[in-house]
Chains A and B, each alone.
Chain A
Amino acid sequence: MRICKFEYLIDDYLLGKLSEDKRAEFEEHYFNCPLCFEKTVQRDELISVIKTKGSSIFQDIQVPKEEKRPSVFESVYAFLTPREWATAAVSAALLLIVVFGVLPNIKATSPDFYINDDRVRGPSITLISPVIEDMKVIPSQFRWQGLGEDVEYKIYIYNHDLMWSGTTKENFIVLSEETKKLMISGEKYSWQVKAFSPEGILISVSSRVHFNISPQQ
């Protein structure tokens, strides 16, 4: 059904509640809008009957007494019908179930990214030790969190450039004495681990962690 934007003025016009300007505007409008004119005539007839016969028509009506100003809760409650409130409650419950029940169980797939034309996938590698920046002695063992079986790890130790690298299938590597001799007290080093699949595809890379070896006193 069509609704005209002037329709809301019908009652106020008939009850004499419009300002002079609004009244003239509405009157000109119903000269041009048959729909509003028809509705105005109908509503006028209803109001005329109610005004003239209201006392007998509404004799059995119990007028609700003027109530105290509603509380904020009552105003909010009155904003929607019970059915609308029920719909809103069900929608909110579903939303909570999705947010707290379903979303946390969805494991996000690891993003793919490229390093030197190699596609890298899977979670990143967490380095365990050494991660303390100032080491008192030259570390002999480097350890990280493993990614599972059949993964080959390549460990890189950098001074300014790559100083040494080694390969293992364990989640740690023990440096040989020769390698340890390459590391000098007072120098700054960093290390990094890369993981490869059995097919030799790079699947993960750790961050690069720096450490110093304190000068011996």
Chain B
Amino acid sequence: MGLSIFDSSFIMEKVKKNKPELTTEEIVAKYRPVVSFRVRKSLGSGTPDWEDVVNNIIVNVIEKLQKGEFRGDSSIGTFIYTITSRRIIDHIRQKSKVLKHAPEPNPFLAPYEEIENKERAEVLTKAIDKLKPKYKEILHLYYYKELSRGEVAQRLSITPRRVSERINYAQKLLSKIIKK
């Protein structure tokens, strides 16, 4: 079972440190959350076997590193990104062959992960509720209604630049409220 991006604060700390030379373990620790995120975005977190895909990618990366296939022509990040993209495409091709006539599987999440995600969502929901109306309004229009920056700006009689600034500030406020 792979680590979720939500319960990997240790790994997130490692990701922030951009060491020049990393061991295989450190590379796995650093890039697992990134690979997980990319896979979830491509396959959808409701796909039951997304974590298997992540594990396959990580194993593939380690194998290639041990075989010396990474020669430093690109950054290690780009190297892992390329492997991840190829494996995702392979997985989708394979699935579309196998599941051509099969019913859609139900979204699946590990129980602990589901609880953790629910708790975090609750905290975030309460934090959004504490925001001033002008920030809630902008989150509502931009993320919930999915209006463009220009449309939001027009509705609120502000500039598109101010829309971006207000969204970024709302995100900062939320992080502050959650950390309290």
Contact = CB atoms under 8 A, between A and B. Distances in A.
Given A8-B164, A46-B171, A63-B141, A57 B129 contact: yes
Given A27-B38, A30-B34, A46-B124, A51 B157 contact: no
B16 A70 contact: no
A50 to B, nearest CB: 5
A89 to B, nearest CB: 19
Nearest to B82: A28
Interface string A22-33: 001001101111
A93 interface: no
Contacts of B81: 27-28, 31-32
A175 B136 CA distance: 94
A54 interface: yes
Interface size grouping (class) on chain B: 35 or more
Interface residues of A, number: 44
A49 interface: yes
B121 A43 contact: no
A41 B140 contact: no
Contact of A31 (B31, B164, B175): B31
A42 interface: yes
B17 to A, nearest CB: 8
Interface in A32-58: 32-35, 37-38, 40-54, 56-58
Contacts of B142: 11
Per DSSP, chain B at the interface is helix
A104 interface: no
- Among B6, B12, B125, B142, chain A packs the most CB atoms within 10 A around the CB of B125
Interface stretch (B63-71, B72-80, B100-108): B72-80
A43 B140 CA distance: 14
Given A32-B75, A46-B174, A51 B37 contact: no
A79 B159 contact: yes
B154 A70 contact: yes
Given A41-B5, A46-B174, A50-B128, A66 B143 contact: no
Contact of A49 (B125, B162, B167): B125
Interface string B130-164: 00010011011111111000000111111100101
Interface in B19-36: 31, 33-34
B16 A57 contact: no
Contact of B124 (A28, A49, A65, A79): A49
A30 B34 CA distance: 8
Contacts of B12: 38, 41
A58 B144 CA distance: 9
Given A8-B164, A31-B34, A52 B121 contact: yes
A11 B171 CA distance: 12
B22 to A, nearest CB: 13
A54 B84 CA distance: 32
Contacts of B145: 63
B177 interface: no
Contacts of B143: 15, 46-47, 50-51, 54
Contacts of A4: none
20 contacts: A11-B142, A15-B143, A30-B34, A31-B31, A31-B78, A31-B84, A38-B12, A41-B12, A45-B120, A46-B143, A50-B143, A51-B144, A53-B125, A54-B144, A56-B125, A57-B128, A61-B136, A66-B154, A67-B154, A67-B155
- Which 3 residue pairs of A and B lie closest in terms of their CB atoms, listed nearest first? A32-B77, A31-B77, A31-B81
Given A33-B77, A66-B154, A69-B154, 14 more contacts: A27-B38, A27-B85, A30-B37, A31-B34, A31-B78, A32-B78, A41-B37, A46-B124, A53-B125, A57-B125, A57-B128, A58-B144, A64-B141, A70-B154
